Amino acid sequence: MFKFCQNNVLTIFFKKMNLIYRALFIFISTIGFSYATDVKVFDFSNEELAILEVRKVRGADNKTLYTVGSNEKGNFLKAVAENAASGLGKEVKIDLDKTPFINITWKIEKDLPGIKENTKKGHDFAARVFVIKKTGATPLSNRAINYVFSSNNDIGFNAPSPYTKKSIDNVLATTKTNLNEWVTVKANVKEDFKKFHDLDVNQLDGLAIMSDTDNSKMIAIAYFQNIYFSEN
């Protein structure tokens, strides 16, 4: 009789423990999933820098110099543009239905004051991050939003690129208030494609980073860190 009761109690105990473990597993999995929704785009390591696609802007005299560094918050990319213009591109699929927000941490050490950024002669930015959607067979048909750290305009200013209406410059930070300071910004990319291009975009096809001074012939120094997409 004792053995029967003991076995019965143990069976109930293990059943309860099994339910507890299953509940804990579901809880932990849920926590892991919530953190996993962030999609990191760049590692900013020397290994990554060696394989990123480098694109020099047509007509630019020099390429922007990109190097990797680190601080207490991790790796960063340093860009030095001296009468130069070249970007670093990465083909990556971003599900904007799940993670529509781009998050960028960046800093401008040396900016480009006095230029008119919405003109061909002044269309330079010390730091910019392009988000790209393929909409045709050739790169010329792509649509882009160019999130910029402006040296002259206020946050919220936006205008089509003077070179193509298929790329929109949108100011997320300005050295008028944050020169030589790390700034973290956020934008809803899905909403911005609808706002600026009247496109319902579910998936991005690539990103690019650039610091350029080929039009102004000036020198800019910028830093990029922790670029990722999030659900909110």
Token readout for 58 is 């047509």
Q: Count Cβ neighbours within 10 Å for each residue of 112-132 and write b for 16 or more, e otherwise.
A: beebebbeeebbbbbbbbbbb
CATH of 39-230, one of 3.40.50.2300, 3.20.20.70, 3.40.50.720, 2.60.120.260: 2.60.120.260
Return the pLDDT at 113.
97
Return the pLDDT at 68.
98
Q: Are 123 and 215 in contact (CB under 8 A)?
A: yes
For residue range 91-113, what is the model confidence (pLDDT) as tens digits? 999 999 999 999 999 999 999 99
Smallest CA-to-CA distance from 84 within 229, 184, 219 is with: 219
User: What residue spans define the domains of the chain?
Assistant: 1-36, 39-230
Return the pLDDT at 2.
35
Return the pLDDT at 28.
33
Return the pLDDT at 22.
45
The beta-strand segments (E) located in the chain are 39-40, 53-56, 65-71, 74-82, 85-95, 101-110, 125-133, 143-150, 158-160, 167-174, 183-188, 203-212, 219-230
Return the pLDDT at 130.
96
What are the start-end ranges of the H helices in the chain?
2-36, 46-51, 189-197
217: which residues sit within 8 A by CB, 6+ positions away?
A: 83
What is the C-alpha to C-alpha distance for residues 146 and 31, in angstroms, rounded to an integer?
Answer: 33
* pTM reported for the whole predicted model: 0.83
Q: Are 61 and 41 in contact (CB under 8 A)?
A: no
- Residue 213: count of CB within 10 angstroms of its CB: 25
First CA to last CA across the chain, in angstroms?
60
Per-residue pLDDT of the chain (232 residues; tens, 9 = 90+): 434 344 444 344 334 444 433 433 333 333 343 444 899 999 999 999 999 989 888 888 899 999 999 999 999 999 999 999 999 999 999 999 999 999 999 999 999 999 999 999 999 999 999 999 998 877 778 999 999 999 999 999 999 999 999 999 999 999 999 999 999 999 999 999 999 999 999 999 999 999 999 999 999 999 999 999 999 9
Smallest CA-to-CA distance from 95 within 201, 167, 170, 168 is with: 201
Exposure of 53 in the CB half-sphere (CA atoms within 13 A): 9
Return the pLDDT at 59.
85
